[in-house]
Each structure stands twice: as structure tokens, then as C-alpha cells.
Amino acid sequence: MGKRITISDLANELGLSKTLVSMVLNGKGDQYNINVDTQKRVIELAKKLNYRPNQNARSLRTGRSNSIGFIIPDISNAFYARIARVLESELEKHEQRLLICSSDEDPEREKELVDFLMSRNTDGLIVASSLKQSWFYVSAIEGGFPVVLIDRKFYDNAKIPSVIVGNHQGAFDAVDEIINSGKKDVYMLTLTPEYISPLRDRRSGFLDALKKHNIDGEGRIIEVSHNNAENEVIEKVGKLINDGTPNGFFVSNNLLTVDLLKLLRSKNIGIPKDVAVISFDDIPLFDLTSPAITAIAQPVEEIAKEVARIIMKQINNDTVELTEENVVLGTTLVKRRSV
């Protein structure tokens, strides 16, 4: 492997000062009245020797790395993958790069990732947090580090900016749709831990919809763990079906919905004839299945744009403060053939 070319190497080769070479490479040659031919010589040699700036050194000088950390529970979840794609596009407009990490819904791993990204001098953090309490991020913001929560919030009244959707209303609309179709033996399939805000709000929306129709919610929530979801769906929902098939499922996210569809197909249970299914969060796959799956769609592009706006506002401010800037966006019931 060849030696990394430095500004000192370029300066020595050209017989110029490191300061002058640095000015040219940073696009400030004209500003400092550096001869046009000299600028041309510097740029041509840099290209010839494949010079690449040392980003770590640059970030130490400027206090900026032009990178933002994005911590999500699971990159295999299509919702977060779509969010990341739009965020990348939005942040590139501000010459920022996105560094994506998966926490696997593990609070300790999440803290380690935060420490890692902050140690790399990232300019800010966008986080779908698995933590139960906000103090970890409150202390970061109080230390002058920009943080924006996405998809999730804390319930301890922390003034951390966030962008979420109306999870309670979306869940309520989904369950109301199932019951109005004539399917009243409805269950919710969801993940743990319960304290994570979208799961908590979707659960309350589910129960309120049952209450509206005078249906007892006791025992109607099936919980599975993030790290063993598919096997637990087979075990827990399979037992429920063996005891007597329910005729409706509201599922708290798209990955769980796929696991449920696999199980129902393996047991030759017809959708929507035998059981109605609605997923919270829509993905392209649901339009291609047979039957197509009714879902609660989240405004992915709008979520990402709002997050990008807030994080850049924080980064560009001289001071970072705790703020109650909480954006709540609406959801849409996309009706297909599974109800």
C-alpha cells in the first residue's frame, strides 16, 4: 500500500509553503490573490498524486466533520431504510453525509454508538431511541451537541426536538376499519419493550378502538421480542389459532406483518375471508401480495425533510439548546384487499 499523500508532500514537490497549498486546495486561492498559474500547478499535482484531504485533521481545525450520525433500531426495516434514503438526499444539500448505525433495540449498544459517533466529531445525531429515559440525550444537548429524535419520543417531558407521526390515531383508524368490516374478534401483534413511544401509542389506539365498539381488550395484545420475532409469532399466534382462529389482526409494524402472513399462509388461513389484517406502516411489498395488504402509511418524505430542517437549524446555530420543537405528522389508511 502506497504512502498517503499529505499537504507537506505537495508543498515540498512544488517548492511552496504548506499554507499556500492549503489555501489553494480549500478554494481560497483567489481570495488571497494567489497567482492563477500557481493555483493550477497545485491542483494538477494534487490530482496526479491522488491527494485526499485528511478529514480528521480538517474537522479538528474547523470543529465540523460535515457528517451526521443516524442511529436506528434495525436497518432491515424498510421504513428506516426509506427514511435514510430521503435524509441522505436532503442533507447532501447542506454538504453533510449520513453515518448509519443499527442499535438492535439494545439500549447499551445505542449508548456505545452515541459515544462512537461523538468521538468521531460528527456534527449532530438523529436517533430513533430505544432508551427509556431522556437524560442521556439531554446531557448531550446541554453540552452543545445537536440531537433530533425521529419516530420516537420520551415521556418524561424532556425538551428534545422530535419528529413523529400520530401513532394513536393511526392505530385507532386501523382497528376501527377491521371492526366495521364485521370482524370483531381482533388481536394486536406487537413488539417489546412496551415503553417505546410508537408501540405504546399504537397499543393505546388499539384499545380505544375496541372500547368504542364495546369490545373487552383483556388478553388481546400479543407481544414478541425484537430479536426473536419470527419464532415467537409462530409460537404465540400459532397457539392462538389452534385454540380458535381470531378474525382480525392489527400489526404494529411491517416486519411483524410479513411474519404473520407467512404463518397464516402455512396454515391455509384465508385473507380476508377468515381473518382481516392491517399493518402499521406501508411498504411496496404489501401492494404485490395476494391479497394486497391494507396498511397505515407514514409520510416518509415529510418526516425526513422535517428532521433534516431541524438538525441543520441546530448545527448552524451558535448555541444548541433544549427545545420543545415537536412535529407530529398525520398518517393515511391505505385500503386494499386484506380487510
**Which tens digits make up the pLDDT trace of 65-87?**
789 999 999 988 999 999 999 99
CA distance to 241, 243, 271, 275, 276, per residue, from 268 (Å): 11, 16, 9, 11, 14
pLDDT band at 88 (very low <50, low <70, confident <90, very high): very high
Q: Pick the residue with more confidence: 321 or 59?
A: 321
What does the pLDDT average to over 259-277?
A: 96
DSSP letters for 168-218: HHHHHHHHHHHHHTT--SEEEEEES-TTSHHHHHHHHHHHHHHHHTT---T
Distance between CA atoms of residues 117 and 120, nearest Å: 5
Pairing of strands 332-334, 294-297: antiparallel
CA distance to 171, 188, 224, 231, per residue, from 236 (Å): 21, 12, 8, 9
3-state secondary structure of 291: coil
pLDDT band at 321 (very low <50, low <70, confident <90, very high): confident
Domains and CATH numbers, the chain: 7-53 (1.10.260.40), 66-165+301-330 (3.40.50.2300), 167-297 (3.40.50.2300)
CA distance to 93, 126, 198, per residue, from 205 (Å): 37, 26, 10
What does the pLDDT average to over 156-160?
A: 85
Residue 22 has pLDDT above 70, yes or no: yes
* 282, 289 contact by CB (below 8 A): no
DSSP annotation of 234: I
pLDDT band at 302 (very low <50, low <70, confident <90, very high): very high
* Per-range mean pLDDT, top range of 25-29, 59-63, 131-135, 178-182: 178-182
* 296, 331 contact by CB (below 8 A): yes
pLDDT band at 288 (very low <50, low <70, confident <90, very high): very high
Q: Which residues of 234-264 are buried (b: 16+ CB within 10 A; e: fewer)?
A: beebeebbeeeebbbbbbbbbbbbbbbbebb
Q: In 3-state terms, the chain is what percent helix, strand and coil (to 5)? A: 45, 15, 40
Q: Quick one: cell of 251?
A: 400489526
Cell numbers 508543498 correspond to 11
Residue 3 has pLDDT above 80, yes or no: no
- What is residue 62's predicted lDDT score, i.e. its pLDDT? 47
- What is residue 23's predicted lDDT score, i.e. its pLDDT? 78
pTM listed for this prediction: 0.82
Distance between CA atoms of residues 71 and 317, nearest Å: 22
Residue 161 has pLDDT above 70, yes or no: yes
Residue 122 has pLDDT above 50, yes or no: yes
Helices 167-180 and 197-212, axial angle in degrees (round to 10): 40
3-state secondary structure of 252: coil
| Residues facing residue 327 across a β-bridge | 163
Q: Which of 115, 92, 110, 94 shows the shortest CA–CA distance to 314?
A: 94
Distance between CA atoms of residues 260 and 230, nearest Å: 8
